[in-house]
Amino acid sequence: MRTWLSLILFFVFTAQNFAQSPPGSDIYLVNLTPAATQIGAVQNISNHPGYDNQPAFLPDNSGLLYTAMRDSSQTDVFMFEMKNSKTTQLTRTTESEFSPTPLSIDPLILSTVRVEADGAQRLWSYNAAESEFSLLLPSIQPVGYHAWADSTKLALFVLGEPHELVTVDLVTKAPMKITSDIGRCLQKIPGETAVSFVQKTPEHAPRIKSVNLNTGTVTDIAPTLADGEDYVWFDETTLLMGLGAKIYRIKRQSNENWVEFLDLEPYGITSIMRLALSPDKNYLAFVADDAVVKKN
């Protein structure tokens, strides 16, 4: 039987390697037209050498959170404000924070995964106005990523061999293992108390699936693109996924194939990774390699 200690040591080794050689990446914004079929301005909002990643929009569309490494060996949480393009550093700690996610309409209250001084990696809440952290799930580790289905229910990517999908209700604090062999991308499904994930098994091609956090029921949604990893929900029925310099879309539980949605190659974009959509659907954020955006 695998022990939690072996998993923690495995993660610490991974985190140390990451800290020594962080991949260079930036966060970009695409201004979508109301019809969401054309590109407006493309803006590099992080524009800094090194690691800038994991964008998450605020519920009121006023900005987005992201993780960045600034002149140190650990990561902190930053907030980009849409109205004035101002960036504010929300955390400044000796530990590393990852996966910042809004917890409420208040942009200064969020959840984040922290790599603690002893190497433990757990889920915390953070009140930026008070500079206060609070441990949300003391017994569940090592947590890699998370997504909220509602104000108390969430899904967790728990690092292991293989990685596991675990759901938790903060009211009961009782974890439930749903499946294993999953990808890093967890997304809340609009209009449902459910979270989607990518199932990766040796026997089958990767599939996007959902788990209902009220029942634990898993439902198949769609195939991924070949070598695709990160995706986001555009609405209740449509998914977006990036690959190379392009973003594709597909309808859930249909016989359709992925079709091109946006081509960002003219802007010098390559290797699209994580995606985030503003609640009003006016802006799409994505992560790509450090680059200078070209003008059309």
Residue-wise pLDDT for 24-41, tens only, equals: 999 999 998 765 455 667
Confidence of residue 66 (pLDDT cuts 50, 70, 90): very high
Give pLDDT, residue 36: 47
Confidence of residue 274 (pLDDT cuts 50, 70, 90): very high
- Distance of alpha carbon 198 from alpha carbon 188, whole angstroms: 13
**What is the mean predicted confidence (pLDDT) over 258-262?**
96
Q: Is residue 203 part of a domain?
A: yes
Contacts of 289 (CB under 8 A, 6+ apart): 24, 25, 26, 270, 271
Q: Residues of 33-61 as b/e, b for ≥16 C-beta within 10 angstroms? A: eeebeebeebbbbbebebbbbbbbbbeee
Q: What is the pLDDT of residues 201-240, one digit of tens each?
A: 989 999 999 999 999 999 999 999 998 999 999 999 999 9
Give pLDDT, residue 10: 36
- Distance of alpha carbon 126 from alpha carbon 113, whole angstroms: 10
**What is the mean predicted confidence (pLDDT) over 163-185?**
96
Q: Is residue 151 part of a domain?
A: yes
**What is the mean predicted confidence (pLDDT) over 166-194?**
97
Q: Is residue 296 part of a domain?
A: no
pLDDT greater at residue 30 or residue 16 = 30
Q: Is residue 192 part of a domain?
A: yes
- Distance of alpha carbon 217 from alpha carbon 10, whole angstroms: 30
- Distance of alpha carbon 195 from alpha carbon 214, whole angstroms: 11
Q: Is the pTM of this model over 0.85?
A: yes
3-state class of 267 per DSSP?
helix
Q: Is residue 16 part of a domain?
A: yes
Give pLDDT, residue 116: 97
CATH of the domain at 52: 2.120.10.30
3-state class of 246 per DSSP?
strand
Give pLDDT, residue 22: 60
Confidence of residue 13 (pLDDT cuts 50, 70, 90): very low
Q: For the chain, what is the domain count?
A: 1
Of all residues in the chain, the percent with pLDDT exceeding 70 is 88
Residue 151: C-alpha distances to residues 103, 155, 157 (Å) = 7, 12, 18
Q: What does the mean pLDDT of the chain come to?
A: 90
Give pLDDT, residue 26: 97
Contact 156, 143 (CB under 8 A): yes
Residue 72, pLDDT above cutoff 60: yes
Domain that holds residue 268: 4-289
Confidence of residue 4 (pLDDT cuts 50, 70, 90): very low
Confidence of residue 176 (pLDDT cuts 50, 70, 90): very high
Q: What is the pLDDT of residues 94-147, one digit of tens each?
A: 999 999 999 988 889 999 999 999 999 999 999 999 999 999 999 999 999 999
Q: Is residue 295 part of a domain?
A: no
Q: Is residue 173 part of a domain?
A: yes
Q: Is residue 101 part of a domain?
A: yes
Q: Quick one: tokens of 150? A: 């509602």
Give pLDDT, residue 34: 65
